[in-house]
Structure 1
Amino acid sequence: MAILVFGGMGHVGSWIAHDLLEAGEEVVIFDLGARGLAGRGLDYLEPYADRLSFEDVDILDTHTLFERMRAWEGRIDAVIFGVAVIAGPTFRLRPFRNIQVNTVGMINVLEMCRILGVPKFVNLSSGAVYGTASGGQTEETPAVASDLYGATKIANETLASQYGNTYDIDVRHARLYFVYGPGKLPSTMHVLYQAMFGPLQGLSDVAAASGGDQGLDWTHVRDTAQGVVHLLRAPAEVARGEAFNISCGVSTPHQTIVDTVTDLLGRDSGMTLGAGRFFERGAPLDIAKSVQGLGFAPRFTDIRDGLADYHDWLKSVGQAG
């Protein structure tokens, strides 16, 4: 039996795949361009290659999606859906395409789950469902979209839940937040991420126009993956139909991250953050429901520990500054 991880070549998805493989599961990564590990920089998956399969699928190509999921019919324990165009200032530049990927793509996968009788579906949602609500958002905080990305996540939760109710699929939602850490090079990310984490890779003199007056719930990717796997494995009476905040649960000022990186490296890399907020989000998320209901225990609640681990990974792949 296998677990299908959609978006498994991505940052969060690859670590979810890692943790499942480490626990002895068979994993199938469904992702656009998923043809193997060569040249992908996902060194942490390589020890488990014998239990890892790849399906190169565009989730908007319904015919190919059905053919490739049907190849696993009768052997699918669960689907974890993590394909998404991530939040950020560029989401609004191609709204139709991005909404298609985030929401229509999820519906396509859910429809295949219905046809093939897949029993469990874990939707990787986001704290963006809370919009600009101030920190301490619980799962009972009303969902109010403050941007198009957040709107796709609210829509996805509603649609997935109704698929679950109508077709007897055990649907669960993981509300993730701002993720950093091994598996992602700072140089490939948006300017705020580069300004905060970039010196770990050797970047210097990056100026973010805003974000200096903000702190967010930056969560180490290993903690994010751990929380999702806990949600997948939770008993139905605890998790079926439910949403859970999966984050660090601690708000860290962005300038503190810049200063901590400087201290960790022993040098100033010339990073600057302009005034104001980079993301219109509140932080931190309240993770009490996940801690109590799922046994979720984030390891990297101290940003310094998380940054050190991130730097160690960059060293291991020859990308450290």
Structure 2
Amino acid sequence: MKLARAGPIVVTGAAGFIGFHVALRLLRRGLVVIGVDNFTPYYDVGLKEARFAQLCAEPRFTPMRMDLADQGQVKALFSDFQPSHFVHLAAQAGVRYSLADPHAYVQSNVVGFLNVLEGCRHAGVSHLVYASSSSVYGANRSIPFSEHHGASHPVSFYAATKSANECMAHSYSHLFGLPVTGLRFFTVYGPWGRPDMAVYTFTHAIAEGRTIEIANAGRVWRDFTYIDDIVEGVVRVLAAPPRPDPDWDSRAADPATSSAPYRIYNIGNDRPEEINRLIAIIETALGRRALRVNVPLPPGDVLETRADVSDLRRAVGFAPATALEDGVQRFVEWYRDFHASPVGRERQAFIQA
């Protein structure tokens, strides 16, 4: 990957799952990375600390523990480091938790993102890449989900904040000529994954002989995408800032196009897998059977997600290549190693307490 005017790169959410892997990939390609995170306790902070420690061992990494909702801290970040590129992956995640604490989503996903946009605008950042979500498709029933379809009916508050991010980013790109790319992530899994996501929660419960709750008898489909494939897509996008389209016609009303240097892409696997099949693969990898309890589909969830990634494929050659069986096997191997380590044992004690 070659970046024009490559200076320091800020990666927010660097102690998070995707942010950690993106930062590590950039560092190992010889780039200077400023890693930002505020270590919110949405899930076990010990796992975040373990990820961050891996990054801090890299010589070109600078750690920054800060809250992006703090305008003064964000101004100082840009002033101190003068980043050339910005990868904004920090967010309050989770569809279900947004029912319990919507204010956390506004502070992190709206206020924090506004501060990032303002910083990038005034610093003349060459390219801002930020995380959106497949959740923005909400009540859209056209499968596969395409950037060229509408995404104006979110069915969770988390999705509403991500939809707001897309509108905010486009306005800054249009008004100030800021090159911005939004990535609608579909279900990502792999080593160092989030413990609230399906692959991790199912693996953890099955390994311990506990029951797992299965929505809609497992007749739910998700576009599971392995972390290495996702990271490759992110870094390729980062090196390809969008340009204004002089032939853009507002009468076309295509959500995926713009006269501004702005683009939005799906980033997923384009091969949805049934939850029942995922569970069977985990059972094989662990050598244990799952104890299942059927539950209704939770509020805000949808039965199927599937990404149309043809635009991203054309733009940067994105081609996810990891089969679900291979990705789950790698995750289970990491899971066993991590939970046998001192950090993993501490996390286990934290969960049981």
Q: TM-score, normalised by structure 1?
A: 0.88
Residue aligning to 1:225: 231
Q: CA deviation at 1:159?
A: 0.7
Do the aligned partners of 1:84 and 1:101 also contact (CA within 8 Å) in 2?
Answer: yes
1:267-303 per-residue CA deviation (whole Å, 9 max, x = no partner) reads 2142444354672253211111111211111122x21
Where 1:236 maps in the other structure, the secondary structure is: coil
> In 2, distance between residues paired with 1:38 and 1:254?
25
Residue 295 of structure 1 pairs with residue 317 of structure 2 = yes
> In 2, distance between residues paired with 1:129 and 1:33?
25
Residue 52 of structure 1 pairs with residue 52 of structure 2 = no
> In 1, distance between residues paired with 2:227 and 2:117?
25
Residue aligning to 1:101: 108
Q: CA deviation at 1:43?
A: 8.1
Q: Equivalent of 1:282, from 295, 299, 304?
A: 304
Residue aligning to 2:196: 189
Q: Equivalent of 1:141, from 142, 149, 155?
A: 149
Q: Equivalent of 1:163, from 172, 197, 210?
A: 172
1:57-107 per-residue CA deviation (whole Å, 9 max, x = no partner) reads 10111112212321012xx11111111111321212111221221111100
Q: Equivalent of 1:77, from 84, 89, 102?
A: 84
> In 1, distance between residues paired with 2:285 and 2:233?
27
Q: CA RMSD in A?
A: 2.7
Residue aligning to 1:250: 271
1:152-186 per-residue CA deviation (whole Å, 9 max, x = no partner) reads 1111011111111211211111110111111126x
> In 2, distance between residues paired with 1:63 and 1:281?
42
Give the number of equivalent residue pairs.
Answer: 312
Residue aligning to 1:111: 118
> In 2, distance between residues paired with 1:81 and 1:48?
22
Q: CA deviation at 1:41?
A: 2.3
Q: CA deviation at 1:124?
A: 0.8
Q: 1:243 to 1:198 in 2, by over 3 A?
A: same
Q: Equivalent of 1:177, from 186, 197, 214?
A: 186
What code does the residue aligned with 2:145 have? Q
> In 2, distance between residues paired with 1:18 and 1:257?
27
Do the aligned partners of 2:95 and 2:157 also contact (CA within 8 Å) in 1?
Answer: no
Residue aligning to 2:12: 6
Structure 1 segments of 4 or more deviating over 4 A? Answer: 192-195, 275-278, 318-321
Do the aligned partners of 2:12 and 2:37 also contact (CA within 8 Å) in 1?
Answer: yes
Q: CA deviation at 1:51?
A: 0.7
> In 1, distance between residues paired with 2:329 and 2:8?
34
Stretches of structure 1 lacking an aligned partner (at least 5 in a row): none
1:211-264 per-residue CA deviation (whole Å, 9 max, x = no partner) reads 522111121122222211111112534994111111111111111111111122
> In 2, distance between residues paired with 1:283 and 1:243?
17
What code does the residue aligned with 2:288 have? R
> In 2, distance between residues paired with 1:179 and 1:195?
13
> In 1, distance between residues paired with 2:35 and 2:56?
16
What code does the residue aligned with 2:238 have? L
Identity of aligned residues (%): 24
> In 2, distance between residues paired with 1:91 and 1:193?
21
